[in-house]
Amino acid sequence: MGQAISRRTFIRGGIAAAAGLAASSIPGVAAAAAPQAEIQLATLLDISKCVGCEACVEACNEVNADKYPQPKKPFPKMYPARVPVEDWSAKQDVTDRLTPYNWLFIQHAIVELNGEETELTIPRRCMHCVNPPCVKLCPWGAARQLKNGISRIDPDLCLGGSKCKNVCPWNIPQRQTGVGLYLDILPSFAGNGVMYKCDRCYSRVAQGELPACIEACPEEVQTIGPRDEIIRKAHALAKETNGYIYGEKENGGTNTIYVSPVPFEALNKAIEKGKGKPHLNSVKDTMAQANNLTAAMVFAPVAGIAAAVGKFVKLAKKNK
């Protein structure tokens, strides 16, 4: 139990220090992780350790249940009708892909490892990119990046237009219709819901606790810590195991670093890909592309206005 408490308080490090524990001895926490929420934190996922038990998926669902959408029905009719209704409210038990009600799932890959056919399992969720296009290109300023490297979508500001999903190289955010700000401002003309994804347990992390999926994992697949420390650990692990790294350079660098015993090309071929099931391809830096930067600049002033409108609507609702 003592260890569980120590793991929960990894960022402030207070209890760990009081217990005389070095941060490096705490499972799930990298050596220099004691630390402040102001530094960019990354996670390291050692794929060779994952047994696919889904304890992380269950933990994610449990701690985030209060944040899941509670849509109002019937849904307003949309004009133009090209914005499709996406309703997952009757399929909340789906756990084999990303949905607004499932922000982490396990991908399965049958690959050849040391001359034998082996199944590897890969936890998948938002990569928390260092320079996230979902944040930089959200027209309404609803997606934000925190100083500790977490990117999150504010459900009170999101209109569900799905720009974040379209610009995300892995199409991570997932829409639920019938919820959010669009119902209050332009129910038939704006957005069509709210986008949902892993927020890397930002409120737990702010309180010095570990993300729930890291805490729940019986195999200690994930480690969290300052990004440079995590990168060093990933390289050391890859060297020791003749492994391969994903996430260090993808999309210009992410705060989710995978180490695999087989090349990611092999994993990418073997996993099921498609809607809500992200690939493991190599990815160019989206934000380095000039046309996207132009779009970001065009959207920037609109984002401020939308955020102000959102705050006003929220305040007006509170004062009703």
Interacting residues toward ligand SF4 by CB under 6 A: 50-56, 59-60, 64, 103-104, 106, 121, 123, 125-129, 132-134, 151, 168, 170, 172-173, 197-201, 211-213, 216-217, 219, 221
Nearest-approach distance from CB 18 to ligand SF4, in angstroms: 26
CA pair distance 185, 183, nearest whole angstrom: 6
CA pair distance 135, 177, nearest whole angstrom: 21
Nearest-approach distance from CB 252 to ligand SF4, in angstroms: 10
Secondary structure (3-state) at 94: coil
Which residues have a Cβ under 8 Å from the Cβ of 298 and sit 6 or more positions away? none
Nearest-approach distance from CB 54 to ligand SF4, in angstroms: 5
Cβ proximity to ligand SF4: between 6 and 61 the closer is 61
Cβ proximity to ligand SF4: between 75 and 244 the closer is 244
Cβ proximity to ligand SF4: between 50 and 183 the closer is 50
Task: Count CB neighbours of 301 within 10 A.
Answer: 9
Cβ proximity to ligand SF4: between 16 and 201 the closer is 201
Which residues have a Cβ under 8 Å from the Cβ of 91 and sit 6 or more positions away? 99, 101
Torsion sign over Cα 15, 19, 23, 27: negative
Torsion sign over Cα 100, 148, 281, 46: negative
CA pair distance 46, 302, nearest whole angstrom: 41
Nearest-approach distance from CB 195 to ligand SF4, in angstroms: 9
Torsion sign over Cα 255, 260, 262, 266: negative
Cβ proximity to ligand SF4: between 22 and 51 the closer is 51
Nearest-approach distance from CB 191 to ligand SF4, in angstroms: 17
Which among 34, 9, 5, 25 has a CA at the least distance from the CA of 226? Answer: 34
Nearest-approach distance from CB 148 to ligand SF4, in angstroms: 12
Nearest-approach distance from CB 204 to ligand SF4, in angstroms: 7
Nearest-approach distance from CB 316 to ligand SF4, in angstroms: 30
End-to-end CA distance of the chain: 46
Cβ proximity to ligand SF4: between 11 and 213 the closer is 213
If residue 8 lies in a helix (H) or strand (E), which one and from where to where? helix 2-8
Secondary structure (3-state) at 39: coil
- Note whether 252 and 227 are within 8 A (CB): no
- Note whether 191 and 183 are within 8 A (CB): no
Cβ proximity to ligand SF4: between 60 and 183 the closer is 60
Cβ proximity to ligand SF4: between 217 and 270 the closer is 217
CA pair distance 239, 29, nearest whole angstrom: 20
